[in-house]
Amino acid sequence: TNGTKVDVLGREYVVDPMTNVTPHLLSHVGRDLHLQPRHPLRHVAQRVTQYMYDRYLSPRGNPLFSVHSQLHPAVTTHQNFDSLLIPKDHVSRKKSDNFYINEGHLLRAHTSAHQGELISMGFDNFLVIGDVYRRDEIDASHYPVFHQLEGMRLCTVKEVYGAHQNMDEYCLFESGERTDKLQGVHSGESARRMEADLKSCLLGLATTLFGKEAEVRWVDAYFPFTHPSWELEVLLNGEWVEVLGCGIVEQEILLNAGVEDKIGWAFGLGLERWAMKLYGIPDIRLFWSTDSGFLSQFEFDDPATKVTYKSVSKYKQCINDISFWLPKDMEYEAADFYDLVRTVGGPLVEQVNLVDTFTHPKKGLTSHCYRLVYRHMERVLTQKEVNVVHKRIEETAASSLGVSIR
Ligand code: PHE
């Protein structure tokens, strides 16, 4: 940033009131963990890619899917939202949930942002792998940057039904009512066949990576760009966690990209969640570690190598609370405070939770109390060291968010 412009991997953008990317956040752009040799996220991405190569072959025996893993993470609001039929007033567009570069651009919030351009370019079977950005809460399974792998497959009537003598008796489309199960443009049989292929593909992926004994379940879901939609959940340490979203691609997206004779499915999975389940990695911050205690455990070339992560001993937590009055004449969002904690506290902060809200009956002022859990991933933290950071967080909050510390 130089006040009026912000540089994102060599592209310059003019700053405006919508800009909320921070220098700290931007320092993650270009790390490309999914491309780093012997990084666990790359191992997982390679396993998924290999699975898709093996499952979908051309008649000549070549993989059908192409892989796009170096698309620029700065996208337009058209790519991230409009092209995916996300309404103008949809909650997912909120400034408090995204990292906007300016009014028209943001760091992609999902790899789905690239669907439209790749379909327009003529790709029918593709994977997109990349870093995605969301302003989120802070805990062991959330980090403002994570990685997704998107898969998309478009099929002609021949691919859905196989080649037959009287191909004209088969049809992908049939207009009707839009229901829970159908978009109202596909024939029931076509949609069912696509759903069956999608689900068997993804269940096969889960068993290939996690083993046959892994517990998984389908949950109905909603996405503006697929219908019907589902999420796959996996049992992880006794808790069901969502590991992917998927569905039948809204036909309007294909039409807008110039495709009239195909039906499609798409899925998007979070690489960190798959890696955490696959290797038993307990904390999402570890993926950013440059420490050999972490990285050395993944130093192998065959991505299918079995490993169980051994915790570099869990150091003690330090817990400090912070309470302040919210400003009266300024907007305040908890997400602004989370960004600030990330910027000032860096990798020392493990969790931030809003533990108490109080409104003064007479003054009409509201106060928030947050509990900050400090813990370094790879070394001991002293209370003294924590106090210095905590003090700096208080001071920065007071000066940049307009809050007054209680
Ligand atoms: N983009 C969705 C998400 O990030 C996942 C998804 C991809 C869902 C493709 C359906 C189809 O949550």
The residues near 227 (Cβ < 8 Å, ≥ 6 apart) are 178, 183, 247, 248, 250
Mean pLDDT of 39-60: 97
Neighbours of 101 (CB within 10 A): 25
Measured in Å, residue 268 CA sits from the centre of ligand 1 at 5
Least confident of 150-159, 311-320, 366-375: 311-320
Q: Which of 223, 242, 253, 269 to mutate to test the pocket of ligand 1 (most atoms within 8 A of CB)?
A: 223
Q: Which of 112, 150, 272 to mutate to test the pocket of ligand 1 (most atoms within 8 A of CB)?
A: 112
3-state per-residue secondary structure call for 352-387: EEEEEEEECCCCCCEEEEEEEEECCCCCCCCHHHHH
> Considering the entire predicted model, what is its pTM?
0.84
* Band of residue 37 on the pLDDT scale cut at 50, 70, 90: very high
Mean pLDDT of 172-183: 97
Instruction: Give the integer Cα–Cα distance in Å for 381 and 391.
Output: 15
Q: Tokens at residue 34, please?
A: 């999914």
For residues 287 and 40, is the Cβ–Cβ distance under 8 A?
yes
Q: Could you tell me which residue, 57 or 375, shows the higher pLDDT? A: 57
Q: What fold is seen in the domain 5-288?
A: BirA Bifunctional Protein; domain 2 (3.30.930)
> What number does the ligand 1 atom closest to the CA of 152 have?
9
Inform me whether the pLDDT recorded for 209 exceeds 70. yes
Which amino acid type is present at position 2? N
The residue written with tokens 């327009």 in the block is: 120
Measured in Å, residue 238 CA sits from the centre of ligand 1 at 24
Inform me whether the pLDDT recorded for 36 exceeds 90. yes
User: Cα separations (Å) of 165 from 58, 69, 184, 187, 263?
Assistant: 21, 40, 28, 20, 21
* Band of residue 139 on the pLDDT scale cut at 50, 70, 90: confident
Query: Which is nearest to 205 in space by CA: 171, 259, 246, 237?
Result: 246
Q: Could you give the 3-state DSSP secondary structure of residue 205?
A: helix
Measured in Å, residue 116 CA sits from the centre of ligand 1 at 14
Q: Where exactly does CATH 3.30.930.10 map onto the chain?
A: 5-288
Query: Which is nearest to 102 in space by CA: 4, 2, 27, 31?
Result: 4
Mean pLDDT of 130-155: 94
Q: Strands, E, within 250-334: which ranges?
A: 263-270, 318-325
Query: Which is nearest to 224 in space by CA: 397, 81, 366, 56?
Result: 81
Neighbours of 86 (CB within 10 A): 18
> What number does the ligand 1 atom closest to the CA of 249 have?
11
Per-residue model confidence (pLDDT) at position 3: 66
Q: What is the CA radius of gyration of the chain?
A: 23
Q: Where exactly does CATH 3.30.70.380 map onto the chain?
A: 318-405
Per-residue model confidence (pLDDT) at position 310: 83
* Band of residue 88 on the pLDDT scale cut at 50, 70, 90: very high
Inform me whether the pLDDT recorded for 226 exceeds 70. yes
Inform me whether the pLDDT recorded for 312 exceeds 80. no
* Per-residue model confidence as pLDDT tens digits over 247-300: 999 999 999 999 999 999 999 999 999 999 999 998 899 999 887 778 889 999
ipTM metric: 0.99
**Ligand 1 pocket residues where CB is under 6 Å:** 110, 112, 150, 223, 226, 229, 245-247, 266-268
Instruction: Give the integer Cα–Cα distance in Å for 316 and 366.
Output: 33
Per CATH, the number for 318-405 is: 3.30.70.380
Average pLDDT of the chain is 94
Q: Could you tell me which residue, 122 or 137, shows the higher pLDDT? A: 122
- Backbone torsions φ then ψ of 214, nearest 5 degrees: -60, 140
Nearest CA to ligand 1 atom 12: 245
Per-residue model confidence (pLDDT) at position 294: 83
Q: Could you give the 3-state DSSP secondary structure of residue 298?
A: helix
Instruction: Give the integer Cα–Cα distance in Å for 33 and 75.
Output: 19
Instruction: Give the integer Cα–Cα distance in Å for 40 and 34.
Output: 8
Per-residue model confidence (pLDDT) at position 260: 97
Neighbours of 322 (CB within 10 A): 19
The residue written with tokens 């290999």 in the block is: 50
Measured in Å, residue 162 CA sits from the centre of ligand 1 at 28
Most confident of 45-49, 316-320, 334-338, 348-352: 45-49
Percentage above 90 pLDDT, the chain: 85
Q: Could you give the 3-state DSSP secondary structure of residue 296?
A: helix
- Backbone torsions φ then ψ of 165, nearest 5 degrees: -60, -50
Q: Which of 81, 149, 152, 225 to mutate to test the pocket of ligand 1 (most atoms within 8 A of CB)?
A: 225
Instruction: Give the integer Cα–Cα distance in Å for 266 and 252.
Output: 14
Q: Tokens at residue 371, please?
A: 């509990």
Q: Could you tell me which residue, 376 or 299, shows the higher pLDDT? A: 299
User: Cα separations (Å) of 296 from 69, 90, 292, 306, 313?
Assistant: 24, 43, 5, 14, 15
Q: Tokens at residue 227, please?
A: 């219908």
Nearest CA to ligand 1 atom 4: 110
Per-residue model confidence (pLDDT) at position 279: 97
Query: Which is nearest to 181 in space by CA: 166, 195, 160, 169?
Result: 195
Measured in Å, residue 223 CA sits from the centre of ligand 1 at 7
Measured in Å, residue 232 CA sits from the centre of ligand 1 at 11
